[in-house]
Amino acid sequence: MFAVGFVVIIALAFFILSVLLFNGKASMLLAGYNSMSKKEKARYDKKNYVEVLALLLLLSL
Protein backbone atom coordinates (compact mmCIF):
# COMPACT_ATOMS: atom_id res chain seq x y z
CA MET A 1 0.00 0.00 0.00
CA PHE A 2 2.88 2.34 0.79
CA ALA A 3 4.41 1.75 -2.65
CA VAL A 4 1.18 2.71 -4.42
CA GLY A 5 0.91 5.94 -2.44
CA PHE A 6 4.54 6.76 -3.15
CA VAL A 7 4.07 6.23 -6.90
CA VAL A 8 0.95 8.43 -6.89
CA ILE A 9 2.82 11.22 -5.09
CA ILE A 10 5.73 11.08 -7.56
CA ALA A 11 3.34 11.01 -10.54
CA LEU A 12 1.48 14.02 -9.15
CA ALA A 13 4.76 15.90 -8.67
CA PHE A 14 5.83 15.14 -12.26
CA PHE A 15 2.44 16.29 -13.55
CA ILE A 16 2.57 19.55 -11.60
CA LEU A 17 6.13 20.23 -12.76
CA SER A 18 5.21 19.59 -16.38
CA VAL A 19 2.23 21.98 -16.16
CA LEU A 20 4.44 24.65 -14.58
CA LEU A 21 7.05 24.18 -17.30
CA PHE A 22 4.46 24.41 -20.08
CA ASN A 23 3.23 27.68 -18.56
CA GLY A 24 6.78 29.03 -18.31
CA LYS A 25 6.65 29.35 -14.53
CA ALA A 26 9.41 26.84 -13.66
CA SER A 27 12.06 27.47 -16.29
CA MET A 28 14.52 28.33 -13.51
CA LEU A 29 14.66 24.59 -12.74
CA LEU A 30 16.45 23.75 -15.99
CA ALA A 31 19.68 22.02 -15.05
CA GLY A 32 22.74 23.94 -16.16
CA TYR A 33 20.86 26.60 -18.13
CA ASN A 34 20.98 29.28 -15.45
CA SER A 35 24.72 28.85 -14.92
CA MET A 36 25.52 29.45 -18.61
CA SER A 37 26.93 32.72 -19.86
CA LYS A 38 24.72 34.98 -21.96
CA LYS A 39 26.66 33.91 -25.05
CA GLU A 40 25.95 30.23 -24.36
CA LYS A 41 22.29 30.93 -23.55
CA ALA A 42 21.90 32.65 -26.92
CA ARG A 43 22.67 29.33 -28.67
CA TYR A 44 19.67 27.57 -27.09
CA ASP A 45 15.97 27.98 -27.76
CA LYS A 46 14.72 28.19 -24.17
CA LYS A 47 11.05 27.74 -25.11
CA ASN A 48 11.78 24.53 -27.02
CA TYR A 49 14.08 23.29 -24.25
CA VAL A 50 11.34 23.80 -21.64
CA GLU A 51 8.68 22.12 -23.81
CA VAL A 52 10.85 19.04 -24.36
CA LEU A 53 11.50 18.71 -20.63
CA ALA A 54 7.78 19.07 -19.87
CA LEU A 55 6.91 16.40 -22.45
CA LEU A 56 9.51 14.05 -20.99
CA LEU A 57 8.01 14.51 -17.54
CA LEU A 58 4.52 13.76 -18.88
CA LEU A 59 5.73 10.70 -20.80
CA SER A 60 7.43 9.34 -17.69
CA LEU A 61 4.05 9.04 -15.97
Rounded to whole angstroms, the Cα distance separating 11 from 20 reads 14
pLDDT tens digits for range 13-59: 999 999 999 998 888 888 888 899 999 999 988 889 899 999 998 99
Domain count along the chain:
1
Give the type of residue at 44.
Answer: Y
As a residue count, the chain comes to: 61
* pTM exceeds 0.85 for this model: no
pLDDT at 33: 85
Range of the domain at 16: 2-59
pLDDT at 27: 81
Rounded to whole angstroms, the Cα distance separating 8 from 14 reads 10
Q: Which residues contact 11 (CB under 8 A, 6 or more apart)?
A: 61
DSSP code of 45? -
